[in-house]
Structure 1
Amino acid sequence: MMKQTSKQNLTMIAVFLPFFWLVSAVFAPAQAQSLVTYILTDPLTGVAIEGMDPVSYFTDPAPLKGQPQYEYTWMGVPWQFANEANMQVFMGHPEVYSPQYGGHGGMSMARGFVSDADPKIYTVFKGRLFLFYSAANREAFLLAPDAAALKGAEHWVTLSKTLSIR
């Protein structure tokens, strides 16, 4: 009796496993896509650009880590700043100091897809902050920054609509 039940269970698994695989393959892209947010955030803390101070990219020799006591929520995401002054500056003009493409990889966006970025790999080009996935991506961007920024802006219009707000 035990052997017959085991055979029946294995047969049922063999029959229905392809169906479950097909269903998961069809619905998995929609679920995964919704996990990518409009503003790049730290997956553990939810803070924008891994807690780096976006204003410090423009005012200091290297970007500074933000502090929890200087936190401001913009576009539904907390942003942290190194000091009160930087927070006030950002509050006045967040669109100027926030990274392009929501902080997603600048060269990836120029190539037509969304990728994460490392806030420590960046460039400020024409008064705008661009973050990159790797140093090689930053170097590729800097070979033709005008063309890359223009292409990235074109792709961002379409790709940003596929990202969840929070």
Structure 2
Amino acid sequence: MKKLLVTSLCALSLMFSSPQAEAGSESLATHVVNSTSRGIAMDGFDPVAYFTAETATKGDQAHRHQYKGRTWLFASAENRDSFAAAPEKYAPQNNGWCAWAVAHGYAAETDFINGWFIADDKLYVTWSAEVKDRFLQDKASLLAQNQANWSTVHAGLQQGSVKFVSHSQRPNLGFQHPQQLPDS
């Protein structure tokens, strides 16, 4: 009788389990996108706006899209639709992890407000404005190192074996996540 009850409960749980949740969970581990604890990619900044408005722009929950297991926010329906049509064109390289860190073989959080740049029609983000400036001084070499290291760093993020640096480990810098645009 006890065995029948356990078997019945297992069958019921399988019947009511969500394939989307399982697929989403696999996707979270598969892609390791830089996101908030609530699954918002890029701290809610609109990746398309870096190209169109040439500035960091907060997205809106009303204009969201699922990609790589995360929720991406956009400032407008037009930006959301552009992203949905070609996410690889607009999504940041390295799944939103610091380009400088990846070029040097580790992973780090980024400054989505001041630490971004576009190179070869691709969005890159870095730890801070200062790191971005250092990256751009040796852009060609560091982009090549970045591309060569990404698969190893990504695998390390998936396995939890790569060195990871967060802004919270450096509180003297004043970064808080998720990032908010400064009051203007």
The higher radius of gyration belongs to 1
Deviates more, 1:70-79 or 1:134-143: 134-143
Match for 1:159 among 150, 153, 159?
153
Tell me the secondary structure at the aligned position of residue 119 of structure 1.
coil
Consecutive aligned runs of 4 or more in structure 1 exceeding 3 Å deviation: none
Cα RMSD over matched residues?
1.9
The Cα of 1:96 is off from its aligned counterpart by: 1.0
Does structure 1 retain, via aligned residues, the 8 Å contact 2:64–2:73? yes
TM-score of the aligned structures, taking structure 2 as reference length: 0.67
What residue in structure 2 maps to residue 77 of structure 1? Answer: 70
The Cα of 1:164 is off from its aligned counterpart by: 3.6
What CA deviation, in whole Å up to 9, does each residue of 1:86-141 have, x standing for no partner? 00100111011000101000111111111111111211111111111112210111
Question: Any stretches of 5+ residues in structure 2 without a counterpart?
Answer: 1-27, 160-184
TM-score of the aligned structures, taking structure 1 as reference length: 0.73
Mapping 1:3-152, distance limit 5 Å: 38-43=32-37, 45-120=38-113, 121-152=115-146
Deviates more, 1:101-110 or 1:156-165: 156-165
The higher relative CO (CA closer than 8 Å, separation ≥ 6) is in 1
Measured in 2, the distance between the counterparts of 1:77 and 1:146 equals 30
Residue identity over aligned pairs, in percent, reads 26
Question: Any stretches of 5+ residues in structure 1 without a counterpart?
Answer: 1-33
The Cα of 1:40 is off from its aligned counterpart by: 0.3
